[in-house]
Structure 1
Amino acid sequence: MVYFRMLGSLRVEREGQEIAIGTPQTRTVLALLVWHANDVVPLGRVFDELWGDAPPSSSKVQVQGIISRLRRLLGRERIRTTATGYVLRADSGELDVELVREDLARARELVANGDVALGATRLREALGRWHGPANPELAEPVAGQLAELRMTVLEERVDADLLLGGSADLVGELTAVVAEHPLRERVRAQLMTALAQRGRVPEALEVFHAYRRTMIEELGVEPSARLTALHARILSGEERPTFPLRRKEHRPNQLPPVPSDFVGRAGLLAELAAALTAPERARPPLVVISGTPGVGKTSFAVQLAHRVRERFPDGRLFATVHGDDTTPVLHQFLRALGVPADLVPDGGQECSALLRDLLTGRRVLLVVDNAADASQVRPFVPAEPGCAVLVTSRRALGELEGARLVRLGLLTAGDSVELITRIAGAPPGDALVACCGGLPLALRIAGALLVSRPHWTCDDLAGRLADHRTRLDWLEAGDLDVRACFTACYRRLPAEHQTLFRRMGLLPAAPVPARVAAALLDGGLDHAERVLEDLVSWHLVTVVRRGGTTCYGMHDLLRCFAAEQAEPDQHAVV
């Protein structure tokens, strides 16, 4: 592939290696052909470019020689002769000027649709295509057009950066640009805006007055009405003056794509969709989905969010909470709703208050994934009944006021068969389904293993999973890992809860009463029951009623994991 670079000195590259073009006249003709790529360049225009008003008598022969040399360098098919001149054929991907124009068009589209950060990135990439000073082989009109193109890209990147709150970093850059282009109004306005947004109002006003003096002295005219209006807004103390771009109300859509292999749970999806979109309500609905690690809480929440998305036209926000601090998620939501980065508060309470303010009168769905407790959910609950909040958590958050609590169960045998079939393309046997225990994560991994190892049968995989001691070793495929999923939940438990959990992994599979747990902890029955019920809330232990007795058990895969952690406890358990 040949790459023609005009943004700077003329360069032609083949497979990353620069091609030596030759004489200045050859470079001038090539620059003209590249600038007008895929269009006919009349022979007279070539004469004008090379010799002006006084072409020599051998001008036609000389041009023919230059074209022959270029064809030897680039290939005969690259330059075609027409009745009136020459055409250089090139795809848009071979022309750095066309790539910049595409970058600019795409960035404008992204910014108009609210993806300002991505648009700014695209504009920076466009500016990065310039590799030096202006092209000396180009005629003045062409050089001027390239310079104007670069300034347009720069100005639009600055506009995007101002929307993103980057005014502090822009002051120095814009000051230098203003010095180089003193009559360029848009850059002056951007410098005024950046200074005003940093609280440097007197300096912003002086930028306007200096521009006004320059315009009157050199051109005899006043600044435009738009710049004068910006000056008035800064003078009146408007908090966020902008010029000329005002960001439209942002309607973010941050939902991940719908899982392609989602199965089952149709009744629960319909029930919760109705709860989230009920027509008359005094407060925003709040749904909390919890369940055993690996049961598919996030996939279910995403499926549900897409089902109701049309009822929340003002935006769909999605974020995963990592650790104990929800402030980064609040920052993400505020920026997504259009708050410039430098106006996002530092504190969580201020962020929560601003979020509620922004949601006033709007219909927005907020999805908060992986909340650890109720305190991580409350900052996201708006006051507006038109909004809704969907939460996933490893715990059942019974302490959360007004929440609809949903415990997501394991898949049925039929749904388990369908899930593996969708992934692997063939139905599994009963033994393989049994080894996965209805856990969607394990079932997805089983399907992935069958796809990536086509020489395995379902029975081959079931045989490898049959041994409880090594089952978790096999339930791993890329970033899907049952053991890692369980580990993340286990590490958040208090030390005493970890002790009881891992010691229960050494017991027989049958559920046991609380007095057995008391013996495992070497403590009282009441205390053991409280620890057990906490583990139930974490979905690491299940409850079974036998007559009038409450017994506690474990999912087979959780038991495998607990037993792995329990080696130091074997003597104590015995």
Structure 2
Amino acid sequence: MFVSTLGRLQVTVDDGEITPTAPKLRSLLALLAVRRNRIVPTGVLVEELWNDEAPVSALATLQTYVYQLRKLLQAHGANGRDVLRWHPLGYEIRLADHELDIAAFEQLAERARDQLSDGAVVEALQSASNAAALCTGTPLYDICAGPILEPEINRLRESLLQVTQLRVEARMRLGHHRDLIGELKLLCGEHPYHEGLHGNLMTCLHRCGRRSEALEVYHLLRSNLSAELGIEPSAAIQDLQRGLLDGAPEQATAEVRTAVAPAQLPRDLSDFSGRADETKRLTELLTSDVAVTAAVVTVTGGPGVGKSALAIHAGHSVRSHFPDGQLYVDFREGTHGSFRILGRFLRAVGFAAGHLPDELDERAELFRSWAAGRRVLIVLDNVTTRGQVRQLLAGGPGSAVLITGTFRAVAGIEGATPIELEAPDLGQSNEILSAIIGPDRMSAETEAAERIIAYCDRNPLALRIVGAKLATNRLLSLAMLADRLADPRRRLHQLEFLDWSMTRTVSTGYRELDAPARALLNAAVAAGSRTLTMTRAEQLCAPGQWSADSAIEQLLQNGLVRCNWGVVGVDSFDIPDLVACYVAEVAGPNTEAC
């Protein structure tokens, strides 16, 4: 069996084509195929097939569609249940690399990228051309895509464009300038804001003695960017234009001739909701062109409040503003030193691995030199110390650096604009849960939904965990889950699902506390205190040790207490319920004074 998606959807077997004709079957198969060998949650499939208009029978109908696909495969020699697998979480289609065109395409594209970086230009051109040959049109052009599949199709389109850029760059290095002019004119017409393509066209025209036409391309690009986006071309393109005016664009040409723009952001949550104001504020800060250097924004907040989800969502919403790439690193995924991260970033933007400097400062200088004059977004997620980001702050006007972490981790980053996330209000919490399980289930058990939100303390991660449990188990009612969450001693055990863990999330901030702050928190929870005044905190602290205000400050910085604002400022601090549950579990009945 072979599944084609880089054009029209097509399923072929030894005895011919067996592509289903029913629209919903085709949409289901297409989404499973582009997410091959990964479990696609049932709720996601329902949203794709019916959007906001899912019938009461949606789950049963989905099961019927799966049965029909399995039957189709079985009739033509494939093991339907082995290829299309059921999981408690959802469904998964199992396809080997040689059974899906996307897999072959991605392998060829990666090979071309590496070959071009290593100077193997002829080989890179062959690999890129072979990848392009797999594409017979716009990906899945014959599928009526819903809210989940459409972003996947856009991702495939971007991948096709990147391969086109690789092929163009290889041909330019081989001197095929005259032959490329017609193709580049078409590409620039299709992508009127793409500076790399316009720069390549300008270079090809100049190399063919058509300098005036090259300058016209620049003026058209500048007009498009100014009129539609309100921005000027990057410094690299402006340097190329000045080189053309001077009659010597070689140096500028080398700057424009870059590798494919990296797009490293993790996938956005399809059901992201409840943070409209924060998203608007964040995107405005990231896309502001007022600053004389890259905008730096920090997103802070307590455990599970949704810092990473907001950053990734906002990053995707402003991707078009950063055509030179989006770079991403998650400091939660093991030990990351600046030296390794800079190496990763530099390789991603086209520098050959064997040519990278061996010294940290030199790598940082090279990265800053590359980023200067470009519009690039750098997302540094789950930062734990300020020192982790110092060498990664690069870019000029039009670029942005987005950093997430606790206040303690990111405090003091020079020039940063802070955004502090609070727990969402009740309305936003309802939006978050409803987006995952659907409004029908919410309205059917309104009281139970309110209890769940209260037990989750309106924490976005906790709500996402319970939402995933409900979405993947239709036999689990909201009332049943609310009853399980009611016992504080069992609550954190209920807030575990797949790789999501409320316990692990809270423990990160707790483990970073110094002994006095940890002891104060332990003592407050053991005493049944959920609200701390400074007077009460001083009573819980032993004389001669750290002052209560120092311990409170550290708890605030790690997001383990929340401020209550009075008439003249903060007059008390709340311990979130889920933090208290964690402390009661790990500290036990015996606590020490601070």
Question: For the superposition of Structure 1 and Structure 2, which TM-score range results when normalised by the shorter chain?
Answer: 0.5 to 0.7
Q: In the alignment, residue 268 of structure 1 is paired with which amino acid?
A: E
Aligned to 1:406: 419
Q: In the alignment, residue 423 of structure 1 is paired with which amino acid?
A: I
Alignment of 1:203-282 (within 5 A): 248-282=258-292
Cα distance in 1 for partners of 2:384, 2:520 equals: 21
Cα distance in 1 for partners of 2:280, 2:257 equals: 37
Most deviating of 333-342 and 544-553? 544-553
Quick check: 1:561 aligned with 2:582? yes
Quick check: 1:551 aligned with 2:564? no
423, 426, 431: which one aligns with 2:436? 423
| Structure 1 residue 399 displacement after superposition | 1.0
Quick check: 1:386 aligned with 2:407? no
- The change in CA–CA distance for 1:101 and 1:253 in structure 2 (over 3 A counts) is closer
293, 304, 310: which one aligns with 2:303? 293
Alignment of 1:150-189 (within 5 A): none
Aligned to 2:547: 527
Aligned to 1:498: 518
Q: In the alignment, residue 588 of structure 2 is paired with which amino acid?
A: E
What is the root-mean-square deviation of aligned Cα atoms in Å?
3.7
| Structure 1 residue 479 displacement after superposition | 0.8
Q: In the alignment, residue 569 of structure 1 is paired with which amino acid?
A: N
Aligned to 2:384: 372
Cα distance in 2 for partners of 1:470, 1:249 equals: 52
Q: In the alignment, residue 262 of structure 1 is paired with which amino acid?
A: F
Q: In the alignment, residue 504 of structure 1 is paired with which amino acid?
A: A
- After superposition, what is the alpha-carbon deviation per residue over 1:508-537, rounded to whole angstroms, capped at 9, x for unaligned? 344122233233331359722012112101
Q: Contact between 2:301 and 2:307, CA under 8 Å: does it hold in 1?
A: yes
Q: In the alignment, residue 427 of structure 2 is paired with which amino acid?
A: G
Alignment of 1:185-200 (within 5 A): none
Q: Secondary structure at the match of 2:381?
A: strand
Aligned to 2:486: 466
Q: Secondary structure at the match of 1:251?
A: coil
- The change in CA–CA distance for 1:375 and 1:547 in structure 2 (over 3 A counts) is same
Aligned to 2:371: 359
- The change in CA–CA distance for 1:340 and 1:543 in structure 2 (over 3 A counts) is same
327, 340, 347: which one aligns with 1:335? 347
- After superposition, what is the alpha-carbon deviation per residue over 1:92-117, rounded to whole angstroms, capped at 9, x for unaligned? xxxx9x99999887654445577979
- After superposition, what is the alpha-carbon deviation per residue over 1:248-274, rounded to whole angstroms, capped at 9, x for unaligned? 433111111211121122122112212
Cα distance in 2 for partners of 1:544, 1:312 equals: 39
344, 355, 361: which one aligns with 2:356? 344
| Structure 1 residue 551 displacement after superposition | 1.7
Cα distance in 2 for partners of 1:312, 1:286 equals: 14
Aligned to 1:319: 329
Alignment of 1:97-108 (within 5 A): 107-108=107-108
Q: In the alignment, residue 422 of structure 1 is paired with which amino acid?
A: A
Q: Secondary structure at the match of 1:569?
A: coil
Provide structure 2 residue ranges, at least 5 long, that are not aligned to the other structure. Answer: 3-13, 15-75, 77-96, 118-122, 131-165, 171-255
Cα distance in 2 for partners of 1:554, 1:506 equals: 12
Q: Size of the alignment, in residue pairs?
A: 362
Provide structure 1 residue ranges, at least 5 long, that are not aligned to the other structure. Answer: 3-13, 15-76, 78-95, 127-158, 164-245
Q: Contact between 1:514 and 1:529, CA under 8 Å: does it hold in 2?
A: yes
Aligned to 1:454: 474
Q: Contact between 1:110 and 1:116, CA under 8 Å: does it hold in 2?
A: no
- The change in CA–CA distance for 1:504 and 1:348 in structure 2 (over 3 A counts) is farther
Aligned to 1:536: 556
Q: Contact between 2:492 and 2:582, CA under 8 Å: does it hold in 1?
A: yes
TM-score, scaled to structure 1: 0.57
| Structure 1 residue 546 displacement after superposition | 4.7
Q: In the alignment, residue 493 of structure 2 is paired with which amino acid?
A: D
- The change in CA–CA distance for 1:418 and 1:518 in structure 2 (over 3 A counts) is same
Q: In the alignment, residue 527 of structure 1 is paired with which amino acid?
A: S
Q: Contact between 1:320 and 1:329, CA under 8 Å: does it hold in 2?
A: no
| Structure 1 residue 295 displacement after superposition | 0.8
Aligned to 2:242: none
- Give me the identity figure in percent: 32
| Structure 1 residue 474 displacement after superposition | 0.8
Q: Contact between 1:436 and 1:442, CA under 8 Å: does it hold in 2?
A: yes
| Structure 1 residue 443 displacement after superposition | 0.3
- The change in CA–CA distance for 1:102 and 1:382 in structure 2 (over 3 A counts) is closer
Which of structures 1 and 2 has the larger relative contact order (alpha carbons within 8 angstroms, sep 6+)? Answer: 2
TM-score, scaled to structure 2: 0.55
Q: Contact between 1:114 and 1:252, CA under 8 Å: does it hold in 2?
A: no
